[in-house]
Structure formats: structure tokens, C-alpha cells
Structure 1
Amino acid sequence: MTMEFEKDLKVTETNIPGLLVFDLPVHGDNRGWFKENWQRAKMTALGLPDFGPVQNNISFNATRGVTRGIHAEPWDKYISVATGEIFGAWVDLRPGESFGQVYTTRLDPSRAIFVPRGVGNSFQALEDGTAYTYLVNAHWSLEQKKTYTFVNLADPDLGIEWPIPLSECELSEADKAHPTLKDAKSMAPRRTMVTGCNGQLGRAVRKYVEEHGLEGFEFNDIDTFDFSDPAQYDRFDWSLYGTIINCGAYTAVDKAEIAEGRAAAWKANAQGPALLARVAAEHNITLVHVSSDYVFDGTRELHDETESFSPLGVYGQSKAAGDLAVANCPRHYILRSSWVIGEGHNFVKTMKTLSDRVANGELAQVTVVDDQYGRLTFTSDMAEAIFHLLDTGAEYGTYNLTGEGESASWYEIARTVFDLANRNGDKVIPVSTVEYYANATGPVSPRPEYSALDLTKIKNTGYTPARWKETLKKYLNM
């Protein structure tokens, strides 16, 4: 082996997406050599994912010709040679267009390779006493082992030109028995956990998953996983998960103003998201979290994602605290909404029921506030937007998402619902917020006057929000 010294650190992309080859600077003299085998800051600047290794393994190969693989494991790997030389072959076993793509190269101490999860690898030692080392970002477990997938290194369809014929090599019986590419199974994606699955948004996410035939989803509500309880996190092997979609929240805005509700709001809306953010950061999980217009005081007529928090009540304060915690997770999407409508108790369903009662003569009229302005957000649209961000790999951060269209007051929306349901919108009477709550017997949280959210940022990702008035018509015909 002739190793090249004093190369510049550089990265080369391959035909397999995410498979990266690194040339390493090796400094040598008559005593031997020295190298920086893995340097997080320099290499991430060149495109290496900040994959968070948690374990370092070494493979020693006593004789030339020892050949191992082809194995695809459920973690990312950074592989480099300590001594000797290897010929490596990599096969993409992830589902998708690149399934079956092959890449081969030789590695010595001056070259290393990053192998993303689901790409199978095989190594042939070209010298006696070859040793290579690899960093991985998940701990081995029996549950992890169940997700391994393989392909036979002798499969002629792979077209691998082994420097040493396999008939002359040392192979394990297990490696000899691996299936050919046409029979190989693809690597299943990391799991997705959905919290708060029985709420309005949680039901919409579940429906989206079912309608699109998505696999690997786990649905939890507070009875199966209380994400605000630190003691429950040890029940899960978080290295198996790639995404958490947090649909859970405390939304009783007025009850949050009393002692019991205040504690519940802070636990669900602040402590819970903070715990999720911590576990997501530790395990390279993408965290999706839903925010609210209540994090603002409503003095601006249109709120964008850069506006500073200024919540008026306990509910808004707890949501703002949750947003701050989630924003510290490297891989996060915060989806900010307002006036949410889905499957469950909500304003539109209440107005529909009241319209029916007016039509039946049970009520003469209904009063609704006319000095709060915003747009409806339908959970079906929220679910679509969540998967759009995830599927397109949009830049991490906060995105506003409501229905498109002009803002309206609660009174105007109520009148529209009445007209669509029974053509009795004239029975909706406008009142001010102060008048509406004048005789309230319980706590009343302050409301933002203006709740409309600027949709420019999410539109720039290629997502087109539905017009809320059109979605409202469809919703009432459900």
C-alpha cells in the first residue's frame, strides 16, 4: 500500500445519495503517521451530517481476503481505516429510486466514508492485519437488529469486481446465504411517533397516514404516553424513531387562568415540549410541534414568524414557553396556527348546532363577538402542511399555517356558518368582547384582537394553503 500524505481535507459525493467519501490529511515521517480521523466542525462544514455518534467499533481482519457483508444497519456510520487497506462495496437498500445503486472504492488510512442508514456495506481486506473503525449513532439492541437487511455480495446483478475472487476469500456462512438484490427487502424508515393522537389535529394526522398508506407510525395519547411526564421516557428506545409529531396540548384557554388549569397548561404546553425537544436533540429526531396565535398580544394586524412573543394570558404564555424549548432542538418544525377546526368540539360545530336550534324555533338569536379578527385553520390542512415540510425536507424552523383568504371576525364566520347551514345568518347578533363576557361567572382569558398570520414563508416552500372559506363549505357538508 502506498498512502498519500499531506492531502487537503475534502469530500466527494457518490452516486448513492448521502454516501460521502473523505480524503484525510495524514502527516507522516520515518516514525509513522498522524491524522485527525474525525473532526466534527471541519467535516460538517464540508457536508458531513452532524450525526451524533454514540459508539465506536473496531473490526480487525487477520488475513488478506477476509470479506464481510453486505449488511445494512439502522444507523449512520463513519468508517475509516486504522491500518492496512480495504476494498469496499456499498449498495443502497433504502426504498426509493436509488434502491440497488452500487458504489465501490478502496480505503486506506488517508480515506474515510460516511454511510447513511439503510446503505449496505461490505469490506474486503487487501492486507494481513487490516483494521478499520466506525462511529455509529445508535446503540446496538435486539430491537435494532430486527431491522437489519442484507444482499448477497456474490450477486452478479450488483456487478461488483472484487480485487480478490470471492472463491479465495474467507466468508461467513451467514454472508453466503444472503438473498440476491431482486429478493432483498428494503430498509424500513425510522418510526414516527404521534402524540395527542385523539385530539383534533391528532385525528387528522392519523387520517392522512391511513389515506396515504404510510407505515411505521405509532399513535399515542396521554393514556399510553404522557409526554409531559419525565418518568415515561425510559420506556422507549428512541434510537428507533426518526420523527415525533406532537399534536398534544392543553387548550382550555379560560380554565388556564385558574390554579388547577394553570398547572395543567404549563405541564402540557411547556414541560412536555421541553422533554420532547431534549430527547429529539439527543437522538437526531425531527420534532414537529404546533403553536398558536396566542403567543402574540394581537396588536399587529398580521403576524409573521419573526415577531417577538407577547402573550396576554396563561395559555399563551405556556405555548410561548413550549415554542422556545422546541426551537432549541436542531431538527424542528413549529407550525403556528389560529382558530383550529377539526374533528371534535370547535367553534364551527357549535355554530352549526346553534343554527339548527334557531331554525327549529328553540332559540331566537345568537350573539357572537365582532372585535376579534383572524382566519380559520382546518386540521386537514395542518396535516397536509406537516407532511409537506417533512417530505420536502424544508428548512427547519417556524412556519405559519392557516387558511388563505381575508381575515374575518368571529361574528362574520358565525354568520357564514348560519347561512350555509340554514340560511339564517341574520339571527347572529354582533357584540363586543367586553359585552359578551360581561356576565361571565368564571375566569376569562384575554384574547388577541388580531390573529391573522402571514403565510409567505410556508408558501415559499411550495405549499399552497387552501382558502378557508372554501374549506368551511366542504367541512359543513361532511
Structure 2
Amino acid sequence: MTDTADTPDRTDGIELLKPLGVETTPIPGFLRIDLTVHGDNRGWFKENWQREKMTALGLPDFGPVQNNISFNDEVGVTRGIHAEPWDKFVSVATGRVFGAWVDLREGPSFGTVYTTEIDPSVAVFVPKGVGNAYQTLEPNTAYTYLVNDHWSPDAQYTFLNLADETVAVPWPIPLEQAIQSDKDRAHPRLADVVPFAATDATADGRRVLVTGCKGQLGRELMKQLPAAGFSPTGVDLPEVDISDADAMAAWDWSAYDIIINAAAWTNVDGAETPEGRPLSWRANATGPANLAREAARHDLTLVHISSEYTFDGTLEPHTEDESPSPLGVYGQSKAGGDAAVEATPKHYLVRTSWVVGDGKNFAKTMASLAARGIAPKVVDDQTGRLTFTTDLAAGIIHLLCTGAEYGTYNLSGEGPVVSWCDVAKRVYELVGHRADEVTPVSTAEYYAGQEGIAPRPLRSALDLSKIEATGFTPGDSMERLDAYVPTIEL
């Protein structure tokens, strides 16, 4: 006689009322999910996908955009092994399958196998690059899956033969008796499979799209990213215009894991002109908004560079939670782009100031003036710290490599807060001139009588405690200046 007190209720072979749960498996990132099924004499009901509950248990918030159903008439229908460039949430609406998955991503887990039976009370989360296959165990089986990208003929697919001897999937129904397609029979063995490109958060070779690659920061990123194990692709105007929404929507985002937006309109005074105003907004607000939309849609990490010009300069130092208060069009357009980026789930908004790198910059301008025997007037009431692109790029890479919490981070050089006049005097000394050749003036005096001049924040120093708490400390900006100026070629 059976004691039914400890026997779970079942209907049509489905276990009822088991608690919702998520289990890890030998394949990294691949999860098995127990679903709660409610049943009575009329049938059953389940929440097949419940975002809030499942993410609370550790399921990735993977952002599904499409639901597909494969209906199978007979027992023994066998499909796979297919690895696609998107994540999948797999379950069955009716029937039962034997599921088999093989990790086809490059890395130490390549070739790892996991199998389980799926009925309406079981689901699995399949990360992109993991080969997926199943065999029906009941007639009239409806196999259903959510995916977080749309099918594309240009996407990268990886396949493995169902009969591969190395992974040796224990099919309940021998493959010679199963129903297969000719295409599946022709897939390669494991030894001939080209692994799916790694996208794990700690794996080398992560694919990065760098916009604005011709700028000071863009050039430095293209130098540092490969050394840190990333695979960067650089784009810039006129070939790629991030403010073109249609072009960004049509872009093949499956080729990337991370976007670093180093593109910007930085002509502060030009932004105040009728011609420059819309260009500034296109580059600094519309473009980042387009990237933010696509990053959210395709589950990409977006890194965006902001500026201290989003503040009016009345506070010092500026913290990450300071409310925007831009004075001019440039700062307003940057604040608009920041707002769009902050709505993206996976973002790093990196705010910086006074950038110096490979290209036109203040230090190089001062060295050029000294070489030509010019004694300039330089403002002494605008204060902050220089940011060398070597530190800026390294800090961005640090955030990505350490998996720091998403959000806003200030990132400039460390060291003393100085004025533009202090920097100019130091450059003059470093090139063999006298510091007193530089005359200090106020901002009001410097721009007196000039039209079309953008307002500048007087205090630009950033509080660096948040990024330093992650383990990254930038170099002293004035020591960086001392090392940089002797390398300037005029």
C-alpha cells in the first residue's frame, strides 16, 4: 500500500506544485528551472516566464524579444545540435522531450555536455554559444523558446553532429531510429567545430565596438583594449554616424558584446552657433540615445563618456549623484545623452574633464605658443584636474574587467586641483621658458568683448572616491604632465 501523504500531486505525468527554483549545471551560465504547475480536473496552469520571480532567483534578465514554437507530431523527432548568437529560455507547452546541450563556446568548458528531460514543469536557460538539441518522447509535443534577438541570415551559427562520438549524447531513442533532417546529419564532429567566440565576463577576446575611434580617447582605447584581451573594432565619421537611428537599428549587433562611445562634438563655442547647435545635439544626445536603445535591445554593455560641463561649476568636487545643471549648449547636449544612457540596464557612464591625449590639446597648444615666442593670457579662475587618455582608457578597461557595478563613475587625473593658468605656466617651464611669460586673467577679462562664447563651469574637479573604491587609482595629473610635455612634437 502506498502512503500518498509524501507523494506529490501529478497530472498526465507532470509534477504539480513544486516550488519555483533555479539550479546551476556543469555548463557555465546554463540553468535548469523548476516551474510551479497548478492543476485540477480541468487541466493545469503555469507561469512559464515570470521575470521578477526568476531574476530574483538568479536567472539573467536577458530581455526576450521573440517567442517561437516547434510542434512535433511524432515520438523520436530529433533536432540539433545548434548554437546561436542569442540566449534562449526553453520549455514545452505540451508533451515531453529529452534535451541535450553542449558548450560550443571557446574556453575551458568547450565540449561539456548536460542532459535532462523537459515536461511542462521544467525549463532551461541556454546562453548564446551553447549547442541546443532535443528528442521528442511523446507525440504532439510543442517545444517553445524565448530568444533575446531576432533571427538574421548574417548571424554566426555553430553546429555539432548529433552522433558525435566525443560528447556521446545518450539519446533515449537511437539516432538510426530517430526522425532527423539531412542538414542535421551533415553537421561536423567536435574536432572540426570552430568554437563560438567567447563572451563570458571574464574571458579574453570580448568584442568591443569603439565609436569615435579617431579621437584622442578612441585612439588610446584602440591601443589598450587588445593588450587587455579585448577584440576592438573602431568606427568613426563619415563611415558610421551614430545619430542615424535607421543605420544603428540595422547594424549587426550580434558581432559585439560591448559598445564604448568615445564619439562627441567637443567644439564648446561652436555649439552656441546656429550651425553648431543641431550638430552638437546630434552627436552628444541623439547618437548616445540610439546606442542606448540598441544596447538595451541586444543586451550589450554600453560605456559612454560624459563631461563636467553637465554641471554649472558651483560645487567642488563634483560627485556622481550631483544633478545636472549645464550652462551652455554643449553641456546641455551632453546631459541629454547622459539621461538616455542611464536608462540602459548595463551601462558605465564615465564622467571626465580636461582631456589630454594624442591630438589637439591644451598642453600641446601652450608648447606651441612658447616655441613661437608668444606670451599668452590664461584664465586662473577655472579649476580642475587634467585627464590623460592613458588613465581614462585604463579606467574604462578596469571597470569592464572587474565587472564593477553598473552606473556613473567620475574619472580624471589625481593630484592637486589647479587652474588652466597653473597648467600653462608648468608647460612653459618644461619647455625651457619662464613661468611668468604666462599672464593670469579672470574668465570675464579673457572673454570681454567677444561674442558667441559658451559659458564655462569655473570648478571642474571630480570626486574620485567611487572609482578608487573599485581598485583603480589614476595617476597624478601634474606628474603625468611633466612626463608628457617632453614628448610633444610640434
Same fold (TM over 0.5): yes
Distance 1:413 1:383 in 2: 22
Matching residue within 430, 433, 436 for 1:420: 430
Moved more, 245-254 or 96-105: 96-105
Is there any run of 5+ residues in structure 1 with no aligned partner, and where? none
For 1:404, the equivalent position in structure 2 comes to 414
Distance (whole Å) between structure 2 residues aligned to residue 412 and residue 72 of structure 1: 58
- Structure 1 match to 2:305: 290
d(CA) in 1 for partners of 2:13, 2:229: 52
Q: CA deviation at 1:355?
A: 2.7
* 1:76 aligns with one of 82, 87, 106: 87
| Matched letter for residue 163 of structure 1 | P
Identity %, equivalent residues: 60
Aligned to 1:95: 106
Instruction: Look up the match of 1:207.
Output: 223
**CA drift at 1:477:** 4.4
1:11 is matched with which residue: 19, 22, 38? 22
For the 8 Å contact 1:55–1:136, the answer to whether it is kept is: yes
Give secondary structure in 2 for the equivalent of 1:411.
helix
CA shift at 1:383, angstroms? Answer: 1.9
Q: Which residue of 1 aligns with 2:484?
A: 475
Distance apart, 1:423 and its partner CA: 5.3
Q: CA 1:155–1:451 in structure 2 vs 1: closer, same or farther (change >3 Å)?
A: same
Tell me which moved more, 375-384 or 206-215.
206-215
1:194 and 2:205 are equivalent in the alignment = no
Q: Does 1:277 align with 2:292?
A: yes
Alignment deviations for residues 437-473 of structure 1 (CA, whole Å, 9 cap, x no partner): 235x342222222111111111222323222233323
**Aligned-pair Cα RMSD in Å:** 2.3
> Secondary structure, in 3 states, of the residue corresponding to 1:228?
coil
Q: 1:461 aligns with which of 439, 462, 470?
A: 470
Q: How does 1:4-403 map to 2 (within 5 A)?
A: 4-144=15-155, 147-188=156-197, 189=199, 192-212=208-228, 214-215=230-231, 217-357=232-372, 362-363=373-374, 365-403=375-413
SS of equivalent to 2:425: helix
Q: Map Cα deviations across residues 107-163 of structure 1 (whole Å, 9 max, x no partner).
A: 11100011111111121222333331111111112102xx11123343343253333
**Aligned CA distance change for structure 1 residues 187 and 328 (closer, same or farther; 3 Å):** same
Report the secondary structure of 1:465's partner residue: coil
Quote how far apart the aligned CAs of 1:255 are. 2.2
Q: Deviation of residue 240 (structure 1)?
A: 4.7
Structure-1 separation of matches of 2:277 and 2:461? 26
Q: Contact between 1:368 and 1:411, CA under 8 Å: does it hold in 2? A: yes
Distance 1:212 1:17 in 2: 22
Q: Per the alignment, in what secondary structure is the counterpart of residue 294 of structure 1? A: helix
Instruction: Specify every segment of 5 or more residues in structure 2 that has no aligned partner in the other structure, as ranges.
Output: 1-11, 200-205
Distance 1:58 1:229, change over 3 A: closer
**C-alpha contact 2:269 2:453 (8 A) present in aligned 1:** yes
Distance 1:149-1:413 versus aligned 2 partners, 3 A rule? same
1:448 aligned onto 2:449? no
List per-residue Cα deviations over 1:382-438 (Å, max 9, x = no partner): 222222223333222111111121211112212222222325434323222222223
Kindly provide the CA deviation profile for residues 262-292 of structure 1, in whole angstroms up to 9, marking residues without a partner as x.
Answer: 2322222222222322233333232221110
The two structures have a TM-score, normalised by structure 1, of 0.91
- 1:11-53 CA-to-partner distances (Å, cap 9, x unmatched) read 1122222211111111223332222211222222222222222
Give TM-score scaled by structure 2 length: 0.89
Provide the C-alpha distance between the structure 1 equivalents of 2:28 and 2:484, rounded to a whole number of angstroms. Answer: 41
CA distance in 1, matches of 2:184, 2:72: 16
SS at match of 1:290: strand
CA distance in 1, matches of 2:481, 2:14: 68
Q: Could you tell which deviates more after superposition, 254-263 or 10-19?
A: 254-263
Q: CA contact under 8 A between 1:355 and 1:424: conserved in structure 2? A: no
Letter in 1 for 2:212: G
Q: Quick one: distance in 2 between partners of 1:225 and 1:356? A: 38
**Contact 2:208/2:230 (8 A) holds in 1:** no
